[in-house]
């Protein structure tokens, strides 16, 4: 039976890769690398295989161009489902042609595979179709949320408290969740925190966490929002892409 691994590789620093991850890398015959356009991200995955895969371990790398996702579509959920289905079509063809019956393959997933990543869902969709069989396991990774809290040296939750993880889109649509005190925001292309300047909040913001371009800013939201927006815009223009995450916290 073909074996697949979904390996969390951490959020940008090659040293985020765990010992479990390194062992899994060294049991893999074919690495499937998803090409999403940002070359730095593909480069990190290459660096990880170059750094941790033993020189005498024979392996192949198969790069997959990601199908285009319609980001303008009004119905977000339907657009994501359509994109996943097209990924499943493409991946099942590639897996069938690139992976021998007795071989193992791996997907190197940014951060942790359980957090805003569709690899597990796409593999489940392929299995549900019943046309291509394999077994798979998931190796956890350091998520950008944990890279963020570590770099700011803050706990994610407060004593006995709950934490909500959400997206920029939801924050913009619904505002700061009424029941929450601590909210992590990911996938925010529009600095949605600028809509909350009327609220008493603290922000811990990080971009390119774990990389040499890392930027960290924290403070009362009202005081630092403009600086974050400015630095974010400049960095994005300079590099051509940005990944940022932040924790919003009501004062205790």
Ligand X SMILES: C[S@@+](CC[C@H](N)C(=O)[O-])C[C@H]1O[C@@H](n2cnc3c(N)ncnc32)[C@H](O)[C@@H]1O
88 near ligand X, judged by CB under 6 A = no
Distance CA 118, CA 137 (A): 15
For residues 93 and 216, which CB has a smaller minimum distance to ligand X in the complex?
216
Nearest approach, Cβ of 185 to ligand X (angstroms)?
8
Q: Please choose, from the candidates 151, 182, 142, 188, the residue with its C-alpha nearest in 3D space to the C-alpha of residue 165.
A: 182
Q: Which of 31, 83, 107, 110 binds ligand X (CB under 6 A)?
A: 110
Rg (CA), the chain: 19
Cβ proximity of 181 and 249 under 8 Å: yes
Binding map of ligand X across residues 12-51, x = CB under 6 A, - = no contact: x---------------------------------------
- Only segment of 56-64, 191-199, 227-235, 237-245 that touches ligand X (CB under 6 A): 237-245
The count of other CB atoms within 10 Å of the CB of residue 231 is: 17
Site for ligand X in 125-154 (CB under 6 A): 143-144
Residue in this structure with the two tokens 């990389």, named with its chain if needed: 211
**Both structure tokens of 124:** 């489940």
- Taking the complex as a whole, the smallest distance from the CB of residue 176 to ligand X amounts, in Å, to 17
Q: Which of 24, 92, 208, 217 binds ligand X (CB under 6 A)?
A: 208
119 forms part of the interface with ligand X (CB under 6 A): no
What residues have CB less than 8 Å from 186, skipping those under 6 apart?
Answer: 115, 116, 144, 145, 165, 166, 167, 168, 245
User: Is residue 204 part of the contact set for ligand X (CB under 6 A)?
Assistant: no
Among 50, 61, 121, 187, binds ligand X (CB under 6 A): 187
E strand or H helix at 149: helix 144-152
# residues contacting ligand X (CB under 6 A): 20
Query: What is the C-alpha separation between 44 and 46, in angstroms, rounded?
Result: 5
By CB under 6 A, which span of 17-25, 174-182, 194-202, 241-249 interacts with ligand X? 241-249
Whole-number Å distance between alpha carbons of 72 and 204: 29
Per rule CB under 6 A, is residue 186 in the interface with ligand X?
yes
Give the footprint of ligand X on this chain (CB under 6 A): 11-12, 110-112, 115-117, 143-144, 186-187, 206-210, 243-245
């Amino acid at each position: 039976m073909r074996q697949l691994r979904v390996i969390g590789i951490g959020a940008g620093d090659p040293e985020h890769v765990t010992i479990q991850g390194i062992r899994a890398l060294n049991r893999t015959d074919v690495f499937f690398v998803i090409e999403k356009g940002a070359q730095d991200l593909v480069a990190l995955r290459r660096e990880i295989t170059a750094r941790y895969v033993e020189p005498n371990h024979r392996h192949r790398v198969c790069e997959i161009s990601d199908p285009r996702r319609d980001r303008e579509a009004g119905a977000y959920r339907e657009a994501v489902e359509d994109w996943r289905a097209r990924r499943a079509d493409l991946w099942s063809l590639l897996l069938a042609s690139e992976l021998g019956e007795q071989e193992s393959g791996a997907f190197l997933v940014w951060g942790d595979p359980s957090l805003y990543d569709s690899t597990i869902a796409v593999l489940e969709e392929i299995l549900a179709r019943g046309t291509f069989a394999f077994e798979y396991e998931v190796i956890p990774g350091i998520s950008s949320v944990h890279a963020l809290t570590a770099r700011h040296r803050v706990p994610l939750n407060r004593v006995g408290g709950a934490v909500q993880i959400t997206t920029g889109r939801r924050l913009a649509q619904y505002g700061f969740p009424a029941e929450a005190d601590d909210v992590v925001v990911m996938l925010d292309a529009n600095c949605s925190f600028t809509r909350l300047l009327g609220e008493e909040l603290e922000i811990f913001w990080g971009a390119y966490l774990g990389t040499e371009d890392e930027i960290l800013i924290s403070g009362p939201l009202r005081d630092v929002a403009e600086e974050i927006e400015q630095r974010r815009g400049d960095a994005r223009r300079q590099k051509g892409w940005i990944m940022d995450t932040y924790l919003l916290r009501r004062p205790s």
